[in-house]
Structure 1
């Protein structure tokens, strides 16, 4: 057999074994072992024709409504599965049994509501993204004990409360995003199991209060987002353990005062790392601590010109930074 015939035989053999095949309407990148099906009129999962050596699969902006364990068995080496903006409504409890290497699962922008027990228990997931679905309850039964997940995104759902049992199964979690839900409160010890947590996003919820001990075990926290809630008061020692915090957003709440010493533990804040804007600050004698802290830490402030007095009337609209001691009656 000459070299040309040998080469032709090799390519034919590869095609017959599926390594060079590719589903209709999708693009396959053999060097990266990646398949992308993007903005195409797919109505069924394209398992037929998927190269068995695929490690990364993206299916986005299609009309697919269903995905099963059998579908995923077509790609047993899969490590990353991205199913953005399709029409998935249900998942099987055994969905991931055929992908024992899967570490990233992104289901952003589907129509998922109630998920079955053990749905994420059959693969060593590190990243789980359920953003922008219709989920009302985050259930501990989704996960195995001692889950390997380090990144969990449940933002943009319909969560009103959180069950502490879920966090007990997430001892390795580093990033938790619960933003853009309808959370009205988080119980005092809910975050205690999350000792490795570095990033917590609670913005765009309906939080009125935070328990004083909520962050006592999250000493590795470096980013904390509390913007656009309904917070009217902050417990005096809430940030006491957060010596590594670099970014803190408290903008767009209902804060008129903060307690003395609240910000003192935050020695690691980045320049422009603190956002206190768009709150109804009451610029009276109780502003003493915050005003003096702001004067000493000007570089730490993001948009300081929007830290503005809502009252009294004589100071309404003034930047807190621009006030003098006499205007605040702080001479003593």
Structure 2
């Protein structure tokens, strides 16, 4: 027993003192961030590594064989390298891998089953060149709770992909080219808490798109082309804390949209071409009662009519909105 313990400590000591060229090592973490690095740093890589970060290098390929050198790996960060593709069996030799971050590579097409990995909970594919998200990337009932596909070239996100993610809590689809969401795209995401759809080309949302996402607390819809919203869009979202609608093409808010919001609810409405006529009555009254819920309230201003242009909406009078005409009819 003593001999076995001694050999184990000796092995760990050797691991602790070994480190690949162009990398730095401490405890069970290895960091490689030299542009001169062009190949996976297998030589000298401690076998007890838990976190491996390779960033801002010229690494262009990685294989399952490479990762077999670190069987205890929990967190793999491959930021801003030169990866163009991944093998379908990439993760087969790292059974404990929990987090995979591939931000800022050159990925376009990914093979089937590449992320079919039981322990994987966090998958970040931000700022690549992916044009199509494929349901075949995953096995059924994936354990992923955080999926980031932002900054790619997606025009659609298939419902079949999201239906394989029943544990998903955080979904980032911002800065793509989405023009619409499939009606049942979010249906299986009962644990979803944060949804980022900012920076796309969405012009409308279906009234029932969030019906099954009752835990939603943060919803980012800014920088789209939304022209109108269904009055029942937020119905049932009792946990909603933050809603960003700034920089869209909204002219009016439908009656009932913001009803029954909790006191901690916050919203941004600036950067829309609000039309300050009788149809503005609902939002005007809501702003008067809930000014503390609006971030940048002073920037919620009229774009039309010309006589009211740049006026702060909550400062208007009922006569300026011509409400007296409606009431007397």
TM-score of the superposition, structure 2-length normalised? 0.94
Do structure 1's residue 65 and structure 2's residue 85 form an aligned pair? no
**What's the CA shift for 1:40?**
3.8
2:260 aligned to which of 247, 265, 268: 265
The whole-number CA distance in structure 2 between the counterparts of 1:167 and 1:265 is 29
Aligned to 1:90: 85
**What's the CA shift for 1:19?**
4.1
Note the 1:3-22 alignment, pairs <5 A.
13-14=10-11, 18-22=15-19
Do structure 1's residue 165 and structure 2's residue 157 form an aligned pair? no
Aligned to 1:231: 226
Aligned to 1:218: 213
Do structure 1's residue 203 and structure 2's residue 198 form an aligned pair? yes
**What's the CA shift for 1:327?**
1.1
Note the 1:1-332 alignment, pairs <5 A.
13-14=10-11, 18-30=15-27, 33-267=28-262, 269-270=264-265, 273-331=266-324, 332=327
**What's the CA shift for 1:260?**
0.6
Paired residues in the alignment total 320
**What's the CA shift for 1:233?**
0.5
**What's the CA shift for 1:265?**
3.3
Question: Over aligned residues, Cα RMSD in angstroms?
Answer: 1.7
Residues 290, 75 of structure 1: alpha-carbon distance in 2 compared, 3 angstrom cutoff: same
Query: What is the CA deviation profile of residues 265-315 of structure 1, one whole-angstrom value per residue up to 9, with x for unaligned ones?
Result: 322543xx2000000000000100000000000000011111110111111
**What's the CA shift for 1:134?**
0.3
Bigger shift: 255-264 or 119-128? 119-128
Where 1:70 maps in the other structure, the secondary structure is: helix
Q: Report if aligned partners of 1:188, 1:212 keep a CA contact under 8 Å in 2.
A: no
Residues 98, 326 of structure 1: alpha-carbon distance in 2 compared, 3 angstrom cutoff: same
The whole-number CA distance in structure 1 between the counterparts of 2:275 and 2:187 is 34
Q: Where in structure 2 are there 5+ consecutive unaligned residues?
A: 1-5
**What's the CA shift for 1:240?**
0.4
**What's the CA shift for 1:329?**
2.0
**What's the CA shift for 1:189?**
1.4
Aligned to 2:3: none
The whole-number CA distance in structure 2 between the counterparts of 1:12 and 1:202 is 50
The whole-number CA distance in structure 2 between the counterparts of 1:312 and 1:291 is 15
Deviant stretches of 4+, over 3 Å: 9-19
**What's the CA shift for 1:122?**
3.1
Aligned to 1:4: none
The whole-number CA distance in structure 1 between the counterparts of 2:59 and 2:173 is 26
TM-score of the superposition, structure 1-length normalised? 0.93
Query: What is the CA deviation profile of residues 239-281 of structure 1, one whole-angstrom value per residue up to 9, with x for unaligned ones?
Result: 00111100000000000011111110322543xx200000000
Query: What is the CA deviation profile of residues 182-203 of structure 1, one whole-angstrom value per residue up to 9, with x for unaligned ones?
Result: 0000011110100000000000
Q: Report if aligned partners of 2:118, 2:143 keep a CA contact under 8 Å in 1.
A: no
Query: What is the CA deviation profile of residues 206-233 of structure 1, one whole-angstrom value per residue up to 9, with x for unaligned ones?
Result: 0011011100000000000000000000
Q: Where in structure 1 are there 5+ consecutive unaligned residues?
A: 1-8
